[in-house]
Amino acid sequence: MNVLVTGGAGYIGSHAVKQLVQTGHRVIAIDNLYRGHREAVDRGASFHPMDLMDTDRLAELLRQHEIGCVMHFAALAYVGESVTQPLRYYRNNTAGAISLLEAMDRAGVERMVFSSTCATYGEPREMPIVETTPQQPINPYGWTKWYVERILKDYAAANGRFSFVALRYFNVAGCAADGTIGEDHEPETHIVPLLLLTALGRREKFTVFGTDYPTPDGTCIRDYVHVEDLCSAHIAAMEALQPGDQRFYNLGIGRGYSVKEVLESARRVTGAKIAVDDGARRPGDPAVLYADAGKIGRELGWSARYTDVDAIVETAWNWLRRHPDGYATRT
């Protein structure tokens, strides 16, 4: 299939491009390169630097390449930044998705796989989180994604052949198993690369935000899903879509690891001591968040291959120790 990948130079998007190429799809990747890396895009894909708000160019690209499905990853994704710069997030994430849908409408493209988030659930009172858990976002980032889900439903209702799947991610981690591409953010906010950068001596210490949560070791518990598993779910969802489908799936491993458990994993994998500083809780950090991913398993036969935290961390370490400066590393 001819697949357009938005945000194809980003962390998750680049892994999706790589996997799509490997599975025989023809891939056209776009990215405005604000936080993406051109070097991350698989050479087997066609790359076009482009912004989501350029509706006319998007429509032409979709028509020119006879796109059968769009995988939509392009988004700003820092929760804290969304609180201080909400208009920027609503413009990029929500208005950008509208521009993309308008382009798809003009070009007659009727399938989308949408990168959504568990942040649409807010702070659920019950675990694990299922797809019917009430969606009550607590920050602009979560709202931007929730609005896109709502827009997709309304557009699908108005256009009987349009189909979509919204995949609600939990904590994405790890890097390509072959070490060719990985995670390179500026600023970096994800726990695994922060720990590994500390192990490499690139950071003085790792801060644990809150050690007094009502969990077995006092630190937050999260569901970590490997980026390659995440991408395989996108392909499975794309290939299952039928005209008029509206699907929603959680993507996680169905259990959580605490911050301290991930810290100890990083110490085991790297052999480094990793200095730690105990910090205060961050506002809005629930004690426990993990997914029930049973629905996608029952309907599409998908399940995560990486469920052991050491295996996830090891793929990230394989990338970062060879690319300590990310894509700026000269090899």
Q: Sign (positive/negative) of CA torsion 174, 230, 232, 256?
A: positive
CA atoms within 13 A on the CB side of 178: 6
* 20 vs 63: CA distance, rounded Å: 20
**Residue 36 burial (10 A CB sphere; 0-12, 13-18, 19+):** buried
One-letter amino acid of 158: A
* 218 vs 209: CA distance, rounded Å: 10
Active site residue 141: yes
* 225 vs 227: CA distance, rounded Å: 6
Q: Are 235 and 308 in contact (CB under 8 A)?
A: no
Of 141, 169, 213, 306, catalytic: 141
What tokens does 165 get?
């799947």
173 phi, psi to nearest 5 deg: -150, 170
Residue numbers annotated as active site? 141
